[in-house]
Amino acid sequence: MPRYEYRCRTCGDTFELSRPMAESAAPADCPSGHTDTVKLLSTVAVGGSASGPAAASRPAGGGGGGGGCCGGGCCG
């Protein structure tokens, strides 16, 4: 189940909740009971190595990082 990070606008606490993707946009109360919260954008780290077939298909110079806006297509 995915984990989502939220910040409480009332007390400033940051907290995480595990919930189904279908409920990712649902309101989330902070652990202190406040209801004015906002879902934070978070990054996903994927482990791996720079060797093997996938690495061989990358552009020379190692700069084919892809950006972050839409899978790499618009950040050149």
DSSP 23: G
Residues 6+ apart with CB under 8 A from 29: 35, 37
pLDDT at 49: 64
Tens digit of each residue's pLDDT (9 = 90 or more) over 28-60: 999 999 999 999 987 766 676 666 555 555 555
SS3 6: strand
Cα(59)–Cα(57) distance, rounded to whole angstroms?
7
The pTM for the full model equals 0.54
pLDDT at 24: 85
Closest CA to 9 of 33, 36, 32, 31: 36
Say if residues 30 and 38 touch (Cβ distance below 8 Å): no
pLDDT at 37: 96
Q: How many CB atoms lie within 10 A of CB 56?
A: 7
pLDDT at 25: 86
13-37: average pLDDT: 93
pLDDT at 44: 67
5-9: average pLDDT: 96
